[in-house]
A = this chain, B = another copy of it.
C-alpha cells in the first residue's frame, strides 16, 4: 500500500527515541500509548477509530512501536504510519464492545508474545480513551508485570515542536483567520445561530485555496446571550437577538495541528459591563503577550496578567493559557504546561500556546485569545485578526 506520511521517517524515529529516553529515566520497559494524538505523534496513525480500543506499544529495546486496533482499521495503519506490516496487529471484530472479550486481553497477548510480560509496563492512566476497564483487564492478564503510570510521557516530548510542525500550525492559523472572518460576517441580529455556525464550519474545512482544513478537536464554541455565562455551550437554532453578546471560540486545523482563536462580538447596544470586561481582558492579554520571553515560567506569565487586571476588580480564577498543537477530540490542549500559579514550566523556543483569559460572570462572559509560538526573543503570533471587541 502507498503510505502517505506527514513527516519524514527520520522525524518519527527521533520522536520515538526521545520517548524511550524518558521511559528509561522512569524505569519503564514498555509504554502503552492510547492517546490518539500521541499515537499519531509516534507513528503517524490517523483515523476516526478511537471509539474502539487501540494504541501503540513502545518497547524500549524494539526499533518500531507496535500498532494494535480493530482489524478493519489495520489498513488505516498501513496507509498512515511508518510501521512495517509485521508491527500492525488487528483484533477480530468479536472484541468490539463485547461483554465476554476485551481488546486489552489481545494487547496482553502481544506483550506476552514479545516476552515482556515480566517487565515494567506503563499505561497512560489519565488519557481520555484509556478506560478503567482496560487497565483492569491488562493487570489481570499480566500477573508478573509491574505497572506504572505513563500519563503525559509523550505529551512532554511533544511540547517543543519541530519546524515542520510549526509550519502546520501556521497553516492552521490562516484557516482560523478565515473562520473568524466568516463568523464576523455571518453573525447578525435575526440570523439563525445554526446558519452562522454552518458558515464557520464551511470555512474551517474548505481552508484556503492552497491547502484544506480538517476537523477541529472542539466544535466552534459560539454561545450567545445568557449562554455566554459559561465557556462550553455553543449555537442553538434560535436567532441572534439585539443586545446579544456572542462568543466566537474557533479554530483552524491542518493535518491535526490546531490554531485556536477567540473573539467576542456585541450585537447592538451591549451592557456597559461587557464593554468594560472586554477592555480589561484585552489590556491584560496585551500586557502578558508583550512580556513573554523564553526562560520565563508559565506562572510568571500568569502573574503579569493577574497584576494587569487586579485594578479592575474582575477576578479570573482559572488558568489563562495552555500548550496546544496536535490533537484529536475532545481537546486541542496538550495537558502539559498551563499558565497558572504553581506551573514552573520554563518557556522554550518552539513551544506553542493558546492564551485564552476568558472571564465568565453569572449572566455574560468575554473570551479573547491568541495562539503563538515562543521564539528566540519573544513570540510569533499565528493569526493577525484584530484584537478587539467586535460590535455590529
Contacts and interface: CB of A to CB of B under 8 A. Distances in A.
A219 interface: yes
A48 to B, nearest CB: 5
Interface in A216-248: 218-219, 221, 226-227, 229-237
Nearest to A138: B132
A151 interface: yes
A305 B53 CA distance: 27
Given A194-B205, A206-B198, A232 B132 contact: no
B232 A47 contact: yes
A93 B319 CA distance: 7
A168 B128 CA distance: 29
A96 interface: yes
A198 B205 contact: yes
B131 A131 contact: yes
Nearest to A199: B202
A318 B74 CA distance: 14
Identical chains bound together, number: 2
Contacts of A314: none
A318 B362 CA distance: 49
Residue from A75, A125, A236 with most neighbouring chain B CB atoms (10 Å)? A75
A193 interface: yes
A264 interface: no
A109 interface: no
Given A93-B340, A237-B212, A330-B48, A149 B133 contact: yes
B125 A133 contact: yes
A72 B230 contact: yes
B128 A134 contact: no
Given A127-B131, A130-B132, 15 more contacts: A48-B221, A48-B234, A48-B330, A79-B229, A79-B230, A93-B318, A125-B132, A126-B133, A132-B134, A194-B212, A195-B212, A198-B203, A212-B235, A212-B237, A215-B219
10 contacts: A71-B317, A71-B318, A72-B230, A75-B360, A94-B342, A126-B134, A127-B131, A192-B206, A192-B212, A194-B205
